[in-house]
Amino acid sequence: MSANLPAKPAPVTLDPWSPLRAGTGARIALGRAGGSLPTHEWLDFKSAHAAARDAVHNVFSADELAGEIAKLGMQTLVVGSAAPDRATFLQRPDLGRRLDPPSQQLLEAFVPPTERPELAIVVSDGLSALAAHTQAAPLLAELLPKLSNDGWRLAPIVVARFGRVALQDQVGSLLGARVSLTLIGERPGLGSPDSLGAYLVYDPKPGNTDAQRNCVSNIRPEGLPIRAAAETIHYLLTEARHRQLSGVQLKDQRVLA
């Protein structure tokens, strides 16, 4: 009879580094049960993996996000990249780096109300629609007043479906902006499906490389908070405008108190 009884689960052996888990969201010191992960840690991993996959495949409502941004007092333009759908976007990154013909025509027809705009802002789903919907509008709510106080001339904010970072080059060039800033959903990590990235480039034009861009990454409540991200982006934009450059030549040289 005893041979038919279910085996007792192996006791969980704690990792010596367990106290360090309080200081990080990283998966360290998970312990073990026999030769495997404890069941609750394995289930947590599977849940985080599912959340990351969902973030990549979630539907992006560009019109809804444009409406939220418009409430901040900004004119918005909704465009699409050359990728016709998400499956193509994921398989063809190059298509996400340029506009589809109707969107290109829309931006070509843009006429600045007075002087040439200094800054073009692009908001896109990228690899996490969740990040764009969750973080972009609050970040702009913090950033836009800082830009207004500094007298930046802004083009209408462009909300782009299926966009990659380099789409900022074509958008900024068509709008005649001196600087282009993209807020885009980053590749989800395990435990960070809502991470937003901010990329800026001085003199946006097709052919720019990533070496000419600056990046502020992991913008989310559990990563870089919105207010701190807005301050960093504002600093980099100010320096880019003043020094007329960006990328590897532009460093964050602030002295932290």
Domains of the chain, residue spans: 57-249
DSSP3 helix / strand / coil % (the chain, rounded to 5): 45, 20, 40
**What's the CA gap between 60 and 162, in Å, rounded?**
9
| pLDDT value of residue 151 | 96
Q: What are phi and psi of 213, to 5 degrees?
A: -110, 150
**What's the CA gap between 77 and 154, in Å, rounded?**
13
Annotated binding site for adenosylcob(III)alamin: 165, 186, 215
| pLDDT value of residue 74 | 96
| pLDDT value of residue 257 | 59
Alpha helices in 124-166 (DSSP H): 129-149
Provide the whole-model pTM.
0.85
Per-residue pLDDT of the chain (257 residues; tens, 9 = 90+): 555 666 666 677 777 777 777 777 777 777 777 777 787 777 777 777 777 777 777 789 999 999 999 999 999 999 999 999 999 999 999 999 999 999 999 999 987 777 889 999 999 999 999 999 999 999 999 999 999 999 999 999 999 999 999 999 999 999 999 999 999 999 877 677 889 999 999 999 999 999 999 999 999 998 999 999 999 999 999 999 999 999 999 999 887 65
User: Quick one: how many helices (H) and strands (E) in the chain?
Assistant: 7, 8
Architecture of domain 57-249: 3-Layer(aba) Sandwich (3.40)
| pLDDT value of residue 11 | 77
| pLDDT value of residue 5 | 64
**What's the CA gap between 26 and 15, in Å, rounded?**
14
Give the CB-side neighbour count of residue 138, counting CA atoms within 13 A.
14
Q: Which two tokens stand for residue 54?
A: 């969902």
**What's the CA gap between 239 and 219, in Å, rounded?**
20
Q: Which two tokens stand for residue 49?
A: 């993996």
CB 58 within 8 A of CB 127: no
| pLDDT value of residue 8 | 64
Q: E strand or H helix at 85, and its extent?
A: none
Q: Which two tokens stand for residue 135?
A: 């973080």
Q: What are phi and psi of 134, to 5 degrees?
A: -90, -40
Annotated binding site: 165, 186, 215
**What's the CA gap between 160 and 173, in Å, rounded?**
15
